[in-house]
Structure 1
């Protein structure tokens, strides 16, 4: 990731709660996000954890990848921009 934790933009609490529900249910989700180069990526994966570290919030996926929450575009049709 090219962004530093100090540039982290916290996401809406309701969307964060939605991510926690996905992590609890352990069901595959369609996850769209922007990678470190700003390109849109898509994964079908289980959200295995949502956690805070070094001043930013992250989610871990069953693919082994970790995303900062402000990289997210949408999860299972729920768009971050709509929250």
Structure 2
């Protein structure tokens, strides 16, 4: 597994907003084998574990945040520095 790449705070906030609103949305991500997957689901949790952020979908699928390509039509944004959310 590759080292975690920190996502932008604004993108993280959007993930949390989608989870709070319980809104179904298209989610495009790369799985651990590097294959692009597309699903439409609700994000039920956004959490940090072991130095990385994750989202959990209503299907039970867990996706490491830096493997996301786009959520609800918005491309992932990465942080410019490890302290960009401070």
Work out the number of aligned pairs and report it.
79
Root-mean-square deviation over aligned CA pairs: 1.6
Q: Superposition pairs for residues 11-26 of structure 1, below 5 Å? A: 11-26=7-22
Q: Deviations over 1:15-58 (max 9, x none)?
A: 00000000000011100000011111001000000000111100
TM-score (norm. length: structure 1): 0.89
Partner of 1:9: 5
Point out the structure with the larger helix share: 1
TM-score (norm. length: structure 2): 0.86
Partner of 2:44: 48
Structure 1: tracts of 5 or more residues without a match: none
Ranges of 4+ aligned residues in structure 1 off by more than 3 Å: none
